[in-house]
Structure 1
């Protein structure tokens, strides 16, 4: 089932298929800007990390996926082109808990080119680098944002990583460095991530990640993310987090996140309405979706943002 030409058409890539840094950079950027991050399947079915199933989902059916799905598919793409690529497991920073996840909650890739290692991350719920970066310590800039890779202590109680990790951080609009995730340099097997998915969705897990609606779109200079009933907007020097107030507003932003993916938008709007709409909104038929949602006063220090602004 897997075809590179079909994948290239899906992400709008028209360049060569040769294992060079320029090709890697162009394909990474095209995938990140074309394939939305979404957790819809995680809410309603079991995620399965098999190449043919993921190709059918993302390419043939023009859907999105979570990081494990996107990077498993992208790993296959890079192998088909001829890259030396491996999986890396990462522990996500949980800001509300002040700690990292205890099992792998993120997957990224490592590509070796001319004896140098490059990190690849084309699918993440929050804003991160979307073009490959060398696996070296220091700061770098992409799309108007500052990032850095630094040495960090290992994850206490974490599964699968021995010793120290490296951490990826992003400088926020307030100038402070915020961790995104820690990762170990040891190559992992895709089956290890399947085990994490099965555990996180199982009855013994206290994690909410597999029961959380996450929809995100990477833009050339920003990121739009809906996490349950929260809207997170990020542009260089400008970030906000606030609650979506009603079905109409949620629909406007979900339509924007899933622009060009109408079935995904309809499914996300249905899930949002079932889970988060107030009784009056849920009882009424879904209202027409205007170009810009009407704005009401937002919470202090969280400026209102209309879909038309994006």
Structure 2
């Protein structure tokens, strides 16, 4: 594992020092050149929480990855540069999932030598963050996202992001991760039928002022002007979108198309049922009134 190879993969050409400016520039370079993606999970390939595996996949084979890989690799690189890095186990959307959410996300706390402050630096949450956030309550605009940190009642920190369709969050204690818990949850999320990573293909990439996402066969681009979407129509289009938009050259992804179509239809049915239930509930409540 060579730091210079990682820096080349992220297309980072700045100075190398454990400063806030370097942390900011490297985080932005990473999220705008390395996609978030779960193709290997969809293809039944085993992933780990080890930075060495992430380096081989993301740097050597020019792929992307999910939080355990992305933040694992980024944390290793920051440590090599001289930053003080703490790997932290976080819980995505604890409000909906309670304790089952524990350790379902790896994030990083980074201390910079020039500022003396601790910063949340996360390249594995789909690319909403384009600069580190100091570990204090605050709100920021990282177009097209609003995001920030707050304290919760349980004395955890909570990161939140909002692109206009509601908050997406993860919370954490500012302490080193239980690495066994991270490894166990990493295994669970790539094998359990209940896992969203098993159920649906996802790819995301950050632009300086926009964000592109592929979920199943639905491609979307969010910017300050709003969100535009389109539906992919064929396995060939899937392969080309992954390659040309996200930089993920995996021709075998075409074989996932039947499952992607099936999942798309399932989600459409669930949405129809939910909408029908909500309409009936509103009608019932109005009749009671």
How far 1:66 sits from its partner (Å)?
0.8
Shift in Å at residue 254 of structure 1? 2.5
Of the three residues 180, 184, 187, the one matched with 1:195 is 184
Shift of residue 99, structure 1, vs aligned partner: 4.7
**Following superposition of structure 1 onto structure 2, how do residues 212-227 of structure 1 map, counting pairs within 5 Å?**
212-227=200-215
Structure 2 distance, partners of 1:181, 1:241, is 26
The one-character-per-residue Cα deviations of 1:165-217 (angstroms, maximum 9, x if unpaired) are 2222234337xx513322222221444311111233456x7334334311111
Superposition pairs of residues 1-310 of structure 1, within 5 angstroms: 2-43=1-42, 44-93=44-93, 98-99=96-97, 102-113=101-112, 114-125=115-126, 127-153=127-153, 163-173=154-164, 178-202=167-191, 206-240=194-228, 243-247=231-235, 249-259=237-247, 261=248, 263-264=249-250, 266-268=251-253, 270-277=254-261
- Per the alignment, residue 275 of structure 2 pairs with none
TM-align CA RMSD: 2.7
Change in Cα spacing, 1:22 to 1:267, as seen in structure 2 (3 Å) is: farther
What is the rounded CA distance, in whole Å, between the counterparts of 1:147 and 1:276 in structure 2?
A: 31
Give 1:145 deviation, angstroms: 3.0
Higher relative contact order (CA 8 A, sep 6+): 2
Cα gap change, 1:173 to 1:57, in 2 (>3 Å): same
Structure 1: gaps (5+ residues): 154-162, 279-310
User: Relative to 1, partners in 2 of residues 1:64 and 1:192: Cα closer, same or farther, differing over 3 Å?
Assistant: same
Alpha-carbon distance in structure 1 between the residues aligned to 2:196 and 2:167: 22
TM-score normalized by structure 1? 0.74
Q: What is the CA distance between 1:142 and its match in structure 2?
A: 1.9
